[in-house]
Structure 1
Amino acid sequence: MSISINNVKSVSYLLITQQAGRTRLFSLLMLSVLSALSFILLPGCASLEGLSEPVSSVSFYDYQNETRHSMRQKRNFQLPDKEAELLWNAPRQWWPVNQPENVAPKRGILLVHGLGDSPWSFHDVALELAAQGFLVRTILLPGHGTTPYDMLSATAEQWQNVVYEQARALKDDIDGEIFLGGFSTGANLVLEYAYHNPDVSGLVLFSPAFKSTSLDWLAPVIAKVRPWLISPEQGASMQTPLRYLNVPANGFAQFYRTSVTARRLLDRPYHKPVFMVVAEHDSVLNTDYLLDVFQHRFVHSQSRLIWYGAKPDNLTDEKRIFIRSDKLPEERISQFSHMGVLFAPDNPLYGREGSQRICANSNDRAKWLACEQSAQVWFSEWGYNEEGKIHARLTFNPYFDWQNTVMAAVLSSQIEP
């Protein structure tokens, strides 16, 4: 199995360790050169301004059909069952349980996936929200759902525009409150919309990518000189039935722009309820920064953060933050992951017995092969190693049902004071 972009979460790490035929010294020199070039090439490229009126809504039905039509023409299908892949990757709607179809729902939520990912990220969360009475919709960000080559020309403005169009379409179809939710990069996009649109009643944020652990500011520079961090000609696997494995440098550059925008907005408090989930050992994100943001910027008394890991040293807001251990030997879980917080243990693709096990969880090819052949693997975040154990990526959440009860309480403002 080839090294995939999902398994190497840092742009700087890729630059130093994954360029075939290049030495570590050369890569470090490249970093120095790019650092110098950044002062020339970066000014202005990270800005992502809020869209103002008029940004018209586009009916979800039209948007969904147009997107599915485009996917049928352009997608590099990975399975013989093309209809299943379309269902997993295309925008989707869940009608609220027990809601008559001729009556407008009272609550709606729009969910936005992360970089290189797909709407399947929210399959289990959407079912739960529909059971709670929400009209639930997912979108597909431009450049996704077809082939990673389409990411070469995608822009953060295109992503932003779809969020704005469909948030406003949802508002038109709801006779009450609208909420927004996002995973990773998607969390940055919905945060931006919410800061500029006070009609949003609250946010649901899973592993929000406000700040990464890497030198992500180099991505816009790298994208100008090296379109792919791992060239497709090297034989790298490009995608799975659910997500991209090899994302071009432009994808990271556009992600970086969304994160800069999020951090700029987070200079001031957000006053609506926020439900947020973070895994302490997330290899992608600066979790100390996320904890600080929640404690000092998400100020609503009903907001809640679920923190999977050990009690943080800088924890000051013990009333609004719930902590659960992410080391569960009885589940063969060594630590929680960036993506695993989203999925139920019985998810048919990513659950305990799911068909889409992610074995490329480190740079050790022998361990990848052992993982693929073993029925008794352990689970962790990318890059975790422990003597005598073979680890796959953790792609499910054993606390999923409990997590849903906390989410429901935040969204309905029923948490005890």
Structure 2
Amino acid sequence: MSVNTIFKNAMLSGAVLSASTFSASAFSANVFAVEASSSLNCVTINNDLAQIEAFKQAGTYRFAKGGVQRINFDFASNKPFQDYLVAARTHINAQNPKANMPCPISTPTSKRLYADKPLQVVDLIAPFELKADNEKAAVLLIHGLTDSPYLFHDLANSFVEQGISVRTLLLPGHGTAAEALVDIDQADWRQAASYAIKSMLNDFDNVYLGGFSTGGALVVDYLNRNTLSESELQKLKGVMLWSPASEAKASMAWAAKYVSWFKDYLDEAADIDFAKYESFPANAGAQVHALMKRIAPKKLKGLSNTPFFVVASEVDQTIETDATVNILARWHAQNGAAQAQDKLVYYYANKVADQLNALPRSLKTVTTFSCEGQVYCEHVLDLAHTSPTNAPSNPHYGWQGSYRNCEHLTGTDLFASCKTTSSPTLGELTEENLQATPNLQRLTFNPYYEQMLEQMQGFIASTLK
């Protein structure tokens, strides 16, 4: 379900569901469903619609094993990043009901990490570090709300091939079960991000900071609220953001805080996507809203001389792209000598002159892209919020991937059609798209991925000097 629809439904619904009302009968159904699904893997779990509905009703994967617990790691410490990776993996194994489910998903990054080892869900969603041969720099990648580090498997491999080592962070409340976001606070995310960023600046000589959606907001917030030393400023080569969180598209996003007082979830789903929560706690929306308020354009003070590479879509239905552009324009104006390195990759739904001219003229933008010679081109309408970081070849989120994002249709007759049609139409959840294609599949890969990589490589070449 789109964030806009989620908040609309939240305002209209009078139903209240909290963890405290989770009955013994529901618990029994949960245990039964886990036992019944012991032969599933992370690919086949997508195939049985009746079973998906059963998982949704029972909350099989919505609740953490043994009740929600915090990760056993002190983000206020200076402990080595490897200690954090061990703690995060242990936490996933202890809390995620799918952690040890077989997961025959093979990516270039999983091959680098595990060679030919049979994989489980924990292997693909755990934070990781990849060291590049002939290392020139290193990048930290922070995922978005309800996501996991799997979101960066495609990009991570591209970075390593360029001689750039990669670290990823698993945000608190993620990688286990949606229940873990019911009581999380954005301050927890900020503390984790602070630890990871400080570790990067301590451990590497040339550093890039990257984030998708909420992860992007966390990077911007850290740089804006913290004073880097002269040594750290010299190490920081640039910031890379994909669909960065700036302002919610939903006009009622501010209300999530108050909804969370009475209702734990704005949307309850089956949570069969091994790499991302499908259920959406009201508190999750409230916390990302609070985080975005911290990086409003008028509050940007500490970003000067930090070049940026940003990928955004005009039709993004999660984030208000105009707000993102306003932040970038303010940031760009402060960048001084770094202005020449700034780059915005902007995907338009309709390339017309007035839209192109609306962007800051001084900001270098890339606005013309073509999708030719691939079978998926005729099926893709536009670029969704969920699209930029995944390649069309991604075995989970790509064109022929095992997972289809149809959660905006959950509870309707169109859900099955979206999940099973042999000729899907993919795009962002705009009103226009949904009217034209009621069983629309939300796009989860970037049809212009290779072109984006070329622009990213150019940015790195211009900043890594």
SS at match of 1:254: helix
After TM superposition, give the deviation of residue 239 of structure 1 in Å.
Answer: 5.0
Tell me, yes or no, if the aligned pair for 1:295 and 1:317 is still in contact at 8 Å: no
Counterpart for residue 127 of structure 2: 91
Is 1:343–2:379 an aligned residue pair?
no
* 1:292-333 deviation per Cα after TM superposition (whole angstroms, max 9, x unaligned): 322332242211101111342512426601113699884311
Q: Which moved more, 1:354-363 or 1:8-17?
A: 8-17
Which of 60, 63, 68 is 2:84 aligned to? 63
After TM superposition, give the deviation of residue 62 of structure 1 in Å.
Answer: 0.7
SS at match of 1:385: helix
Equivalent residue letter for 1:220: K
Q: Percent identity?
A: 26
After TM superposition, give the deviation of residue 16 of structure 1 in Å.
Answer: 3.8
Provide the alpha-carbon RMSD of the alignment: 2.7
Is 1:394–2:443 an aligned residue pair?
yes
Is 1:274–2:308 an aligned residue pair?
yes
Q: Distance in 1 between matches of 2:387 and 2:246?
A: 18
Which of 391, 412, 418 is 1:371 aligned to? 418
After TM superposition, give the deviation of residue 64 of structure 1 in Å.
Answer: 0.6
Change (3 A) 1:362 1:202: same
After TM superposition, give the deviation of residue 56 of structure 1 in Å.
Answer: 3.7
Change (3 A) 1:342 1:17: farther
Counterpart for residue 29 of structure 1: none
Q: Distance in 2 between matches of 1:227 and 1:108?
A: 38
Change (3 A) 1:227 1:388: closer
Q: Distance in 2 between matches of 1:210 and 1:387?
A: 29
After TM superposition, give the deviation of residue 120 of structure 1 in Å.
Answer: 1.0
Counterpart for residue 358 of structure 1: 405
Q: Which moved more, 1:197-206 or 1:120-129?
A: 197-206
Counterpart for residue 190 of structure 2: 160
Counterpart for residue 404 of structure 1: 453
Counterpart for residue 177 of structure 1: 206
Runs (5+) with no aligned partner, structure 2: 17-74, 104-118
Counting matched residue pairs gives 367
Q: Which has the higher helix share?
A: 2
After TM superposition, give the deviation of residue 9 of structure 1 in Å.
Answer: 4.4
Tell me, yes or no, if the aligned pair for 1:10 and 1:213 is still in contact at 8 Å: no
After TM superposition, give the deviation of residue 148 of structure 1 in Å.
Answer: 1.1
Which of 115, 125, 132 is 2:162 aligned to? 132
Equivalent residue letter for 1:225: F
* 1:241-281 deviation per Cα after TM superposition (whole angstroms, max 9, x unaligned): 11111121111111111101111533676331100011111
Which of 148, 169, 172 is 1:142 aligned to? 172
Counterpart for residue 330 of structure 2: 296
* 1:4-56 deviation per Cα after TM superposition (whole angstroms, max 9, x unaligned): 5xx444553232456669xxxxxxxxxxxxxxxxxxxxxxxxxxxxxxxx954
Counterpart for residue 283 of structure 1: 317
Alignment of 1:299-318 (within 5 A): 299=335, 300-309=339-348, 310-311=350-351, 312=355, 313-317=357-361
Is 1:237–2:279 an aligned residue pair?
no
After TM superposition, give the deviation of residue 220 of structure 1 in Å.
Answer: 1.9
Counterpart for residue 51 of structure 2: none
Counterpart for residue 80 of structure 1: 101
